[in-house]
Amino acid sequence: MANIKSAKKRILVNEKKAARNQMIKSAVKTEIKKVRTAIEAGNKEEAAKALLAATSAIDKAESKGVFKKNTASRKVSRLAQAVNKMA
């Protein structure tokens, strides 16, 4: 355990940030899962709605610094590609 006051504060702040990032990542994963289940069910309308929500969640996560720009773009692109492949 740290003895210096600033080091103690850094530990607390880092724990808080890690918890926040984990919550955001979990929310994004849930949205992505909704898109995937809609695709597997073959429901194009539901998949399109879920894609919109997932894209929004991924973009918010990117703006908060949870995902890097390219990672967010890759996730959105792959989801959109999967939805567009549905006939």
Give domain status of residue 50, yes or no.
Answer: yes
Give domain status of residue 22, yes or no.
Answer: no
pLDDT digits (tens, 9 = 90+) for 13-30: 999 999 999 999 999 999
Q: C-alpha angle 32/35/39, rounded to 5°?
A: 140
Task: Show Cβ contacts of residue 55 under 8 Å, excluding neighbours closer than 6 positions.
Answer: 76, 79, 80
| Number of compact structural domains in the chain | 1
Give domain status of residue 53, yes or no.
Answer: yes
Give domain status of residue 10, yes or no.
Answer: no
Per-residue DSSP letter, 52: H
* Predicted local distance difference test score (pLDDT) of residue 87: 62
Give domain status of residue 78, yes or no.
Answer: yes
Q: Within its chain, how far is the Cα of 55 from the centroid?
A: 9
For residue 70, give its domain range: 42-87
- Mean pLDDT per 10-residue section of the chain, whose length is 87 residues: 93 97 98 96 94 97 97 97 89
* Predicted local distance difference test score (pLDDT) of residue 1: 79
Give domain status of residue 28, yes or no.
Answer: no
* Predicted local distance difference test score (pLDDT) of residue 86: 85
